[in-house]
Chains A and B, each alone.
Chain A
Amino acid sequence: AQKITQTQPGMFVQEKEAVTLDCTYDTSDQSYGLFWYKQPSSGEMIFLIYQGSYDEQNATEGRYSLNFQKARKSANLVISASQLGDSAMYFCAMRENPGSARQLTFGSGTQLTVLP
Chain B
Amino acid sequence: GAGVSQSPSNKVTEKGKDVELRCDPISGHTALYWYRQSLGQGLEFLIYFQGNSAPDKSGLPSDRFSAERTGGSVSTLTIQRTQQEDSAVYLCASSPGTVNYGYTFGSGTRLTVV
Residues of A at under 8 Å CB distance from B?
33, 35, 37, 43-45, 47, 50, 52, 91, 93, 98-109
Contact = CB atoms under 8 A, between A and B. Distances in A.
The prevalent SS among residues of A at the interface is: loop
A101 B43 contact: no
Interface residues of B, number: 26
Contacts, number: 56
Contact of B42 (A35, A50, A91, A102): A91
Given A45-B103, A103-B56, 11 more contacts: A37-B102, A47-B103, A50-B100, A91-B43, A93-B43, A100-B50, A103-B45, A104-B103, A106-B43, A107-B42, A108-B42
Interface in B96-110: 97-100, 102-105, 107-108
